[in-house]
Amino acid sequence: MPTYYTKDHEWIAVDGDTGTVGITDYAQSQLGDITYVDLPSPGATIGKGDAPCVVDSVKAASDVYAPVSGTVTEVNEALGDAPELVNGEAETGGWLFRLTLSNPSELDGLMDRAAYEAYVAGL
């Protein structure tokens, strides 16, 4: 399952026409302790670059931008009771939402893991 990254520190793991979206480990480390996650509603249609989700932390509230366009099919309900999952498992169990990709070619503009790591190293 290929995973892609944005310069805004989101990731998307793609399986067929379904993408699972979250924030990177780097992003959660910059935010500090996550206290609340405002998730999009299943069925919502979002465009690439939209901010369908907000992550609140002890430091700040931060928009999460959609790496691609699509329709939200599922949200990580576990984050309602345990938003700190994003801190401990940012790129696994702390995922935010899943969507059906409406334009898979949008993935072409995203970074692979090596490119993302090089990008973060330059920050």
Tell which residue, 116, 1, 7, 12, has the closest CA to residue 68.
12
Q: What is the pLDDT of residues 61-98, one digit of tens each?
A: 999 999 999 999 999 999 999 999 999 999 999 999 99
Q: What is the pLDDT of residues 102-119, one digit of tens each?
A: 999 999 999 999 999 999
The token pair at 107 is 């993935």
Helix, strand or coil, per DSSP, at residue 111: strand
The partner residues of 15 in beta bridges, in order of sequence, read 18
Tell which residue, 120, 115, 101, has the closest CA to residue 48.
101
The token pair at 66 is 């959609």
Give the start-to-end residue ranges of the domains of the chain.
3-103
Q: How confident is the model at residue 1 (pLDDT cuts 50, 70, 90)?
A: confident
Q: Which CATH class is domain 3-103?
A: mainly beta
